[in-house]
Amino acid sequence: MSPQLYEFHLPLSPEELLKSGGVNQYVVQEVLSIRHLPSQLKAFQAAFRAQGPLAMLEHFDTIYSILHHFRSIDPGLKEDTLEFLIKVVSRHSQELPAILDDAALSVSDRSAHLNALKMNCYALIRLLEAFETITSQTSLTDLDLGGKGKKARAKAAHGFDWEEERQPVLRLLTQLLQLDIRHLWNHSIIEEEFVSLVTGCCYRLLENPTISHQKNRPTREAITHLLGVALTRYNHMLSAAVKIIQMLQHFEHLASVLVTAVSLWATDYGMKSIVGEIVREIGQKCPQELSRDPSGAKGFAAFLTELAERVPAILMSNMCVLLDHLDGENYMMRNAVLAAMAEMVLQVLNSDQLEETARDTRDQFLDTLQAHGHDVNSFVRSRVLQLFTRIVQQKALPLTRFQTVVALAVGRLADKSVLVCKNAIQLLASFLANNPFSCKLSDTDLAGPLQKETQKLQEMRAQRQAAVASAVLDPEEEWEAMLPELTCTLQLLLKLPQEEEEISEEIANTETAEEVKGRIRQLLAKASYKQAIILTQEATSHFQESEPFNHMDSGESDETRLLNLLGNIFKGTTVSTQEKNPQGSAGSMGPEQSICKDTPNMLEPEKSRENDELVKQEMLVQYLQDAYNFSLKITEAIGIISTMMYESTTTVVQEVIEFFVMVSQFGVPQALFGVRRMLPLIWSKEPGVREAVLNAYRQLYLNPKGDSARAKAQALIQNLSLLLVDASVGTIQCLEEILCEFVQKDELKPAVTQLLWEHATEKIPRSPLERCSSVMLLGMMARGKPEIVGSNLDTLVSIGLDEKFPQDYRLAQQVCHAIANISDRRKPSLEKRRPPFRLPQEHRLFNRLQEMITKGFVHPDPLWIPFKEVAVTLIYHLAEGPEVISAQILQDCAKQALEKLEKSPSQEDLKETPMLPTYLLMNLLSLAGDVALQQLVHLEQAVSGELYRRRVLREEQEHKTKGPKEKNINSDTTIEEELGLVGATADDTEAELIRSICEVELLDGKHVLAAFVPLLLKVCNNPGLYSNPDLSAAASLALGKFCMISATFCDSQLRLLFTMLKKSPLPIVRSNLMVATGDLAVRFPNLVDPWTPHLYARLRDPAQQVRKTAGQVMTHLILKDMVKVKGQVSEMAVLLIDPEPPIAALAKNFFNELSHKGNAIYNLLPDIISRLSDPEGGVEEEPFHTIMKQILSYITKDKQTESLVEKLCQRFRTARTERQYRDLAYCVSQLPLTERGLGKMLDNFDCFGDKLSDSAIFSAFLLIVGRLRRGAKPEGKAIIDEFEQKLRACHTRGGDALEELEIGQGGSQRAPSGTKKQSAVSRHQHVASAASDDDFVTPEPRRTARRHPDTQQQASKKKLKIVFSSDESSEEELSAEMTEEETPKKTTPLRRASTRRHRS
């Protein structure tokens, strides 16, 4: 077929070119074989050199054949074909401009060039797509094989790097489309298929997932420009919009790529309408459909969000079509629309000079954002807070909205979502950092200026109102006020006429009627009534034809006529005359009237200035009011955020810490509370939290303001000293850990240490409290670097322990703490070869301590007791032979007490019983107790550790001296050594030695401590005789310390201890004894075990202090498995509703920790429910609900839930009161039931069916039904409906309805299976309960386990049957009394771990 006779139609698929179509339509004649392709391509190249681009008309079949065999042909042929086609199209694009400009172009030539153009473009684009297809497949293979060798595999597939060749092809197509090629078509209308051919390849390239990679940026830009030309020149906008929507739905990687393209088209190519088309298409998408198509919604959301960031002004005009998505179910679309609004507020509507419509639009956007701060979806609420954070950071939020948005953020702090809380904290931090009010936001500091300026404003307003009132006073009112006096003056004048010649002459010669009228008005205003009347009389005769003097009524009296005339003149009823002749009146105005006329003009600047001042004052007051309200909101937020300090989520805790750092920098007084509260987080196991605390204290304290290093050090010391004011022991320990960390990392400058020593030594005069805090800080730093104190030990002794009067015991106490830090506190066992750091007995330190204790003993100073305790501890910690020093101190103090006792009776009455001052007896017993406890600690730790260290050294020495032959002589010894039995035996021997010393020697008659036992027992046994509260507290604490020494002594005094614990009227005594008995429970568990109920009883103590101490002690004992956990743990549950928040928080923390110990809470729940719902000893109904809601929240396992449901349902049979029925129903309703749990309820329905007539019980079970329906599967709804039907029937008709339902539904068939399940569950229940009991039993000693293995197995088998302690009576419920027969005798042995310590 001649090239001039056919027409090339662009096919939808390559196969169409093989079929015969319409008249003169081009058809491929032959698909060449692979072996002929190279030669045919060379022939085509030769024809191209001869004929140019039109050679394609004759050789199209060759290119078609190459495309047909593309996967099979040689890579070199592919590359040659691509290069050649690029050359052909490039040549054609260069020739086309001249051809298109040729007016004499024939139809046949035009047709030939058109066919050549379409063939060239079709061939090049199909070749481009073929390369792209293979590249995409290679990329997918690379994902499986890994990234190595990716480029090599791409080259092997094509023979060259295809990704580098795409861009020139696209640029060539762009160049071609920029020509005016439409003239090649009839009527200059380009066919749609040609545009689709070119743009289609662009869209297919975009579908490649790697197109979004940075290395493909040139390709993306080339595609964007090519499509931009198609949009501007070839009417491609509608098709592009539809295609973009489709691609967003199916390709997640394209959102950012398409945003870049669309924003470029809208700006550089002027195609703003493309944005409207795309947004309109998205807006018309059904929200319900998007909720079912999450991938499409994600693509649309990402596209809208990024588009708003790039072209917010263009998008804003189309926002109305997107508003429907704010009410849709898909949260991503809501987030996208809200983000778009925020971008418009930030970039377009962020100006003070906005027009009214723009301001209204901004307010609508902000209103929408605030409304969605309460969205049902937490991700939307979180996103809103993030957007407001950006708006605040860029200062785009109007001041009028500050309070409402701050209130929104404060409200979101209570959100259930952790993410929302975190973003709310970030928003409040942004408000602080960008607040327009002040760098210091103390509400107390702002309240004073606000009150002062408000009062000033009120005064200014009052003055202004008074001035305005006087300026606009009604002439009628003035006339009424002056009328009585004017009438009186007129009557006098009428009776006594005056001479008027002078006035008459003046009027006649110089004045007009208007001027005279003005003078009369002025005279009346000045209260010159006599002159005004005379002038009026003269004017009536002089101006008989002028207004207003010619309207005199002859029928009235002279007095009435003159008064009316004066009234008309004064009230200005003749204004019309002035208006008729303004020029004349002004021109003839006298000098006096001119001055009066100019007076208002002269007052105008003054009035304007007053107005400006008033406006400024109003603005100042409003500013102060806003700042004050803002500071109040921040203060409120601090209270809420501080409670989030110990959340389980690390990121939230970090945000809270950063917030308090920022609040502190803005001077909010309450910030110090949060800064202190974060201190315990230094012990956190989360490294991120610990580091956040360290960073917070770095920012707050290590970088103070100051001109010099010394000034900075002074500021740092002052800030740290403020933290120590009224600080608890726990706070001081936390701060010590932080300072230790700083010192070890050399973050504290030497100037700080130098200045602290200067304060401590009083080189710089300081108050006693400041000296004390300086020594305290030095001691804390010594933890990190002991040489800080160790090198200045004598100086420190001189500072705090030198003899002076009065003695500063507070400073001395801190000196002792500081000195204690010079030796490491590691256990001796961890440093086997290194002897412990000790000072000789003769050291000056111990001499001074001994002297201060003995001399201070006879003075009633309350600070002596805490100092003495620290001093005794330091002596045992650092001295060689501390027992000698402490014995000497005890003897000296006892000797002084005896001397006082001997001096006290008077010479005259020797029969009177000798009396000792109470404080001396208290000091003596307290000192004895401290020595007893420290002696025990010294033996258990220091002596035992030293014995171990020496034994290890001795064994190592012996091992070295032994020869090889000696080592093999006794094989039994070697085996024992390998098994570690030799070391274990030695450990037990050493432990037995220490125990025998404590049992036999310390409290026998030979040791100095034994001398104090009778006195101590006498004071404790006679509370009526020794009734001083301080003495009772010291004696009870000393008795607890003495009991720690010996099991024998402890056993003999337990009855006394627990009697005092129960019956002492002093809370401090009960609190001290609670701590002491808790320690005894750890040291002698078998002795204290029978008394455990009395420990639990203190949890209901009337004194807050005792309840808190009891809660802490029982938490420690239970979590450390030192006491058996029985039903009495319900007393801990009662603390959950304690009126004191710290105690309630302590109880909550206890159950949180207990929930991590296996099935502990699950095993205890039936007992807790029984005890708390007991009519005699339980709690009220509302508190019961509060407690159980908290405890039941720890039941999360399905099996536990199902078992509990069954147990609770069966308890309905044994419950005795209506209240117990309701409590059981409430507990069941709080469990996280599943369908299997519902099955258990149906199996046991007859247990509670007859109780459903009670509305509260019925409502509780209906609550279960509602909760189950929310997440029920279709197959489970039938069971739920059956259960609800049974509930309603029993509620309305009682228990008889149950029998009817069972007969009607064949409910009897359910019974056998239910019975089987029940028996199976009960068997599992016994086993689980037995296991849980073992969890709370201290393990047997190893020796016992080796000697009696069979006995242990038999005991475990007997334990399988479990009976809840709430269902049986127990000896534990008896009260401790002074009588011997009521003392618990039956002890339940607790298997205690071996005394041998673990060695590293």
Instruction: Convert 377-432 into a string of H (helix), E (strand) and C (coil).
Output: CHHHHHHHHHHHHHHHHCCCCCHHHHHHHHHHHHHHCCCCCHHHHHHHHHHHHHHH
Distance CA 41, CA 35 (A): 11
pLDDT at 1377: 38
pLDDT at 443: 61
Where residue 1068 falls among pLDDT bands split at 50, 70, 90? very high
Contact 216, 210 (CB under 8 A): yes
Residue with structure tokens 């429910």? 1169
How far is the CA of 1385 from the CAs of 202, 1054, 1090, in angstroms? 93, 12, 8
Rounded to whole angstroms, the maximal C-alpha distance in the chain is 162
Contact 670, 635 (CB under 8 A): yes
Instruction: Convert 559-597 into a string of H (helix), E (strand) and C (coil).
Output: HHHHHHHHHHHHHCCCHHHHHHCHHHHHHCCCHHHHHHH
Instruction: Convert 31-45 into a string of H (helix), E (strand) and C (coil).
Output: CCCHHHHHHHHHHHH
Position with higher pLDDT, 729 vs 991: 729
Q: Does the pLDDT value for residue 1 go beyond 60?
A: no
Express each pLDDT in 383-418 by its tens digit: 999 999 999 888 888 888 888 898 899 888 888 888
Where residue 439 falls among pLDDT bands split at 50, 70, 90? low
Instruction: Convert 1108-1148 into a string of H (helix), E (strand) and C (coil).
Output: HHHHHHHHHHHHCCCCCCCHHHHHHHHHHHCCCHHHHHHHH
Contact 407, 633 (CB under 8 A): yes
Position with higher pLDDT, 6 vs 763: 763
Q: Does the pLDDT value for residue 1126 go beyond 60?
A: yes
Distance CA 202, CA 198 (A): 7
Contact 1041, 933 (CB under 8 A): yes
Q: Specify which of 573-582, 1116-1125, 1370-1379 reaches the highest per-range mean pLDDT.
A: 1116-1125
Express each pLDDT in 838-872 by its tens digit: 888 888 899 999 999 998 888 888 899 999 999 99
Distance CA 828, CA 831 (A): 5
Where residue 297 falls among pLDDT bands split at 50, 70, 90? confident
- Which of these, 323, 350, 346, lies nearest to 334 by C-alpha position? 323
Q: Could you give the percent of the chain with pLDDT greater than 70?
A: 80
Where residue 1108 falls among pLDDT bands split at 50, 70, 90? very high
Distance CA 1384, CA 326 (A): 71
Distance CA 826, CA 892 (A): 33
Distance CA 119, CA 63 (A): 10
Where residue 1059 falls among pLDDT bands split at 50, 70, 90? very high
pLDDT at 1369: 36
Residue type, 859: H
Q: From its phi and psi, is residue 824 left (phi > 0), alpha (psi between -120 and 50) or beta? A: beta
pLDDT at 472: 55
Instruction: Give the three-state DSSP class for 1383.
Output: coil
Distance CA 700, CA 663 (A): 11
Express each pLDDT in 719-736 by its tens digit: 888 888 888 888 888 888
User: Is the four-CA dihedral 263, 264, 268, 271 of positive or negative sign?
Assistant: negative
Distance CA 1011, CA 931 (A): 13
Distance CA 1288, CA 1297 (A): 9
pLDDT at 802: 80
Distance CA 1134, CA 1111 (A): 11
Instruction: Report the mean per-residue pLDDT for the chain.
Output: 77
Helix (H) or strand (E) holding 608: helix 591-642
At residue 354, φ and ψ (nearest 5 deg) are: -75, 145
Express each pLDDT in 500-544 by its tens digit: 444 444 565 567 778 888 888 888 887 788 888 888 888 887 777
Please tell me the total number of residues recorded for the chain in this structure. 1400
Express each pLDDT in 314-354 by its tens digit: 888 888 888 888 888 888 888 999 999 999 888 888 877 77
Q: Does the pLDDT value for residue 1344 go beyond 60?
A: no
State the Cα torsion 430-436-437-439 to the nearest 10°.
60
Q: Rg for the chain (alpha carbons), in Å?
A: 50
Query: How many Cβ atoms are within 10 Å of 495's Cβ, its own excluded?
Result: 7
pLDDT at 467: 65
Distance CA 13, CA 694 (A): 69
Contact 42, 85 (CB under 8 A): no
Q: What angle do CA 60, 64, 69 make, to 5 degrees?
A: 150
At residue 7, φ and ψ (nearest 5 deg) are: -130, 130
Distance CA 1234, CA 1298 (A): 23
Token duo for residue 39 = 């030669």
Position with higher pLDDT, 694 vs 500: 694
pTM of the model: 0.68
How far is the CA of 686 from the CAs of 682, 693, 1156, 1278, 1378, in angstroms? 9, 11, 18, 48, 50
Residue type, 231: L
Q: Does the pLDDT value for residue 1325 go beyond 80?
A: no
pLDDT at 445: 67
Q: What angle do CA 820, 822, 826 make, to 5 degrees?
A: 85
Q: Does the pLDDT value for residue 977 go beyond 70?
A: no
Token duo for residue 483 = 């009328």
Q: Measure CA 284 to chain center.
A: 39
